Amino acid sequence: MTSSLISAGLSTTRPSTDEGVPVSVKIRERVKAAKQRFHANDNIADFIQPGELEALLDEVETKMQGVLDSLVIDTVNDHNTESTARRVAKMYLNEVFKGRYMPTPRITEFPNAEHLNELMIVGPITVRSACSHHFVPVIGRLWIGVMPNQSTNVIGLSKYARLAEWVMSRPQIQEEAVVQLADLIMKKTRPDGLALVMEANHYCMSWRGVRDMDSKMLNSVMRGVFLKDAVLRQEFLSLIPRQK
């Protein structure tokens, strides 16, 4: 009787083997075990367990405080920066890089009852991202052209903007961001064709570095019928009102 009580007590107080292991390490080990990538512009939501995002926020706050300390900023006496480490951690995890940590937005699908296969364009969708190199803003706009498939469902118009936000709210480079978004829309909607144009200001070129205020980066991705049909491609490009 006594011995069974003692062993029961022992088993409830025994420390778990990963106690003290930073939550970022636990998440990283899961991603590695699944042989997945965790580049800056990858989504890792599948590897984060309930409650871990809050623990990750605490961990990033602590590390950010270390950065402020190394920048020799008196966060104890400076009322402006005393909560900056927490603010920056929240901004990264819950706002500007949330597309790494949150699952894919839910997409409402509607039957393509009329078997429509006419060109549809949505835009300009505002792009808010950050460059992977310096973590400073990339702000721009994008246009999406879709040639629906007569036999697949159509998705709600706002969902293009939601998918774009999910992909862009990660550290990105523009060339990879547009390809990621095109792949995602192709996977979700299976249209006959997809055209995507993005133009953006990169603050790493204006706020710092060469400090060129006017140059933008422009790029496009064409898939399916937009690749094969030059007239359709031209129709899309002529309809997007870029100069406004």
Distance between CA atoms of 202 and 199, rounded to whole angstroms? 10
Q: Should residue 133 be labelled a site residue for ligand GTP when binding is judged by CB under 6 A? A: yes
Spatial distance between the Cα atoms of 18 and 3, rounded to a whole number of angstroms:
27
Residue 209 binds ligand GTP, judged by CB under 6 A? yes
Q: What's the min distance (Å) between Cβ of 164 and ligand GTP? A: 15
Least Å distance between CB 64 and ligand GTP? Answer: 21
Per rule CB under 6 A, count of chain residues that contact ligand GTP: 10
Q: Residue for token digits 């060129």?
A: 212
- Which of the residues 154 through 173 are near ligand GTP (CB under 6 A)? 173
Cα(71)–Cα(215) distance, integer angstroms: 31
Toward ligand GTP, which CB reaches closer, 58 or 175?
Answer: 175
41 binds ligand GTP, rule: CB under 6 A: no
Q: Does residue 175 bind ligand GTP (CB under 6 A)?
A: yes
Strands 109-110 and 137-147, bridge-based pairing: unpaired
Distances (CA, A) of 117 to 114, 121, 193: 9, 12, 10
Q: Would you state the structure tokens that stand for residue 162, as one six-digit string?
A: 């939601």
Q: Is 131 in the site for ligand GTP (CB under 6 A)?
A: yes
CB 64 within 8 A of CB 90: no
Cβ proximity to ligand GTP: between 173 and 225 the closer is 173
Site residues, ligand GTP (CB under 6 A) = 131, 133, 173-175, 202, 204-205, 209-210
